[in-house]
């Protein structure tokens, strides 16, 4: 997952050029999606079972890349094919999105874990 939303990219550019101030609103949450979104629109978030967004923390960026600091465990997943993820801030604003390297098929009831370091956000 490596894409900033258009709104986040614009806010960061405005901050860097001094035309506006951008202040992140942690904690951030990771949502899993069954239909991938885009830079301007959200995907279809998984629902059902025990699914709930998980709090995610990131490393200090190095070479334009940050990654999740700990495993993220989604318990009792619904039957669904997970194709990507989206990061939301505490206000519920979507800040990043992207596809998984491979879709994950959940048959229902199992846990899905995203290992520490495997979810990245990149600014080229």
SS (H, E, C) the chain: CCEECHHHHHHHHHHHHCCCCCCCCCCEEEEEEEECCCCCCCCEECCCCCCCCEEECECCCECCEEEECCCEEECCCCCEEEEEEEEECCCCCEEEEEEEEEEEEECCCCCEEECCCCCEEECC
pTM equals 0.94
Count of domains observed in the chain? 1
pLDDT tens-digit profile, the chain (124 residues): 669 999 999 999 999 999 999 999 999 999 999 999 999 999 999 999 999 999 999 999 999 999 999 999 999 999 999 999 999 999 999 999 999 999 999 999 999 999 999 999 998 7
pLDDT of residue 124: 75
Residue 52 domain boundaries? 3-122
């Amino acid at each position: 997952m490596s894409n900033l939303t258009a709104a986040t990219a614009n806010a960061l550019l405005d901050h860097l050029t001094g035309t506006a101030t951008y202040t992140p609103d942690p904690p951030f949450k990771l949502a899993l999606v069954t239909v991938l979104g885009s830079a301007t629109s959200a995907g279809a978030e998984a629902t059902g079972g025990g699914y709930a967004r998980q709090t995610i923390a990131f490393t200090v960026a190095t070479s334009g890349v940050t990654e999740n600091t700990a495993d993220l465990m989604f318990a009792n997943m619904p039957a669904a094919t997970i194709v990507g993820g989206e990061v939301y801030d505490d206000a519920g604003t979507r800040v990043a999105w992207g596809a998984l390297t491979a879709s994950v098929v959940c048959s229902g009831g199992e846990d899905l874990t995203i290992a520490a370091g495997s979810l990245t956000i990149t600014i080229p």
